Amino acid sequence: MTELRTLELENTDPSIEYIGQWATLTVDEHTENSWSGPIYSNMLKSTIGESGISFAFSGTGVTIFGTVMNNFVNNSGVITGPKVDCSIDSQDFRPGTPSTFHTNGFAFCEQKMGTLADGQHRISLNVVASLEQPFYFDRIEYTPSDNVSLSQATVKFTHIDPIINYGAGWIDTSYRKGGPNAVHLTNTVGSQITFPFTGKSVTWIGFYPDITQYLQNASTATYSVDDGNPTTFPLFSGNLNISGSVFNQIFFKTPDLVPGPHVLKVTYQGTTEQMPLALDHLFVENDTISAVPGGPSTTGTSLPATTSTSLPSSTASSRFVRHRDILIGGIVGGAMGGILILVACLSLWIWNRKRQRKRLASPELTSPFIVTFSGPPRVFRKSQGGQFERGALPESGTVPNLTSELQSGGTSSAMTRSSVSLVRHQDSGFRLPNELLPTYTEL
């Protein structure tokens, strides 16, 4: 990961927690452009009384920006504005000291990039403000960990990011000024810069040097995306008398593009007699989750055009992205397999239940069968000793074959011609109490 890149969160971001009563203010004559540039999102959050801001993140640095009004500090340099307290992970640290004049983008609570251990943190700002001196909150900027999603994020690229490719004629002022005054600039006609990115739009933020450094005559430049038709934009109108440097000026913003990889090209059209073209940083509005290889290089040239706007820049982070993709693929595949198995089991259970219900609703019927007799019919007689004796019927009493009768189309009358077995009962003389005598009928 390169710590030259940060994520920008405007004050409407849902991950920012507000404590107390806050109002939304649009830009007006009191809060618009100052020497430090315009408000980030053209909108401020304002509060009076006791209020607070809290933001949890994973990264190595974070800053809470707001607007300082003229009345925050009196003529003696004493701060009379809102009282601000800052803390990181419940540990207090000193807030920034407001300036004596109107300043947008002032760092009230700052933990510089790389000063925190990489991991989860929470920054908090508590403020006591008054109706005469409200507190104004602008945005949060933080350096995220490699595993933070960049989907829908706005990424800030500083002018010294190695992904930016400067052509001939560009000067890096970092070595002689440092701090926020450091920029890349050119006043050489035809000087170009290319910037590969992945996202849907780019905003160029530059600055105007004071009159003691460069001439303040009107000048222009052009930009194009993916070698399309160039668009001309004015750098300076020439009718402003700037006694001091003016920072964070929006030179242009591209129209919304199809989200994906693009290449921005900017060409300076002025001369040494005109206002130079300066770059402080670039804002890229992201619309995808992507990874950018890249890191400090000895040549300062850009990386291949396949790079994008995400923060990871080392080989290790590339391995992390691939590993994350493999894990996600495995999880998704396992989940889909589990769902398919569950559906198959459920279908089998439903089929089995329907089969059982059908079996209960339609009981099996036994097919009728025909009994045939083999051998001569028999008659059983009871002997005097109470035993049954078996004997054959006379020849004239032979029972006809039922099978032949049925097969020949015989009716139930065939059954009436069957042999009748007679059993004669004899009274034994024994009686049970209350037992009635048997009744016999004559044959």
Span 262-278, pLDDT tens digits: 999 999 999 999 999 99
Of residues 236 and 322, more confidence is placed in: 236
Whether the CB-CB separation of 284 and 199 falls below 8 Å is answered with: yes
Task: Round the average pLDDT of the chain to a whole number and report it.
Answer: 76
Express as a percent the part of the chain with pLDDT over 70. Answer: 64
Is 0.85 surpassed by the pTM of this model? Answer: no
User: Per-residue pLDDT averaged across 362-382, rounded?
Assistant: 49
Per-residue pLDDT at 72 exceeds 50? yes
Give the rounded distance of the alpha carbon of 24 from its chain centre.
28
Per-residue model confidence (pLDDT) at position 2: 59
Q: What is the pLDDT of residues 119-166, one digit of tens each?
A: 999 999 999 999 888 999 999 999 999 999 888 899 999 999 999 999
Place of tokens 């995400």: 310
334 secondary structure, DSSP code: H
H helix runs in 238-363, sequence order: 315-361
Distances (CA, A) of 284 to 14, 226, 297, 310: 20, 15, 22, 10
- Angstrom distance (rounded) from CA 234 to CA 59: 37
CA-to-CA separations, 226 to 38, 230, 422, in angstroms, rounded: 29, 10, 116
Q: What are phi and psi of 349, to 5 degrees?
A: -65, -45
Q: Which CATH class is domain 1-145?
A: mainly beta
Band the pLDDT of 336: cuts 50, 70, 90: confident
CATH H-level superfamily of 149-313: Galactose-binding domain-like (2.60.120.260)
The one-letter amino acid code at 162 reads P
CB atoms < 10 A from the CB of 309, how many? 30
The yes-or-no answer to whether 1-145 and 149-313 have a common fold is: yes
* Residue extents of the structural domains in the chain: 1-145, 149-313, 378-411
Query: Distance between terminal CA atoms of the chain?
Result: 118
| Residue 375 or residue 104, greater confidence | 104
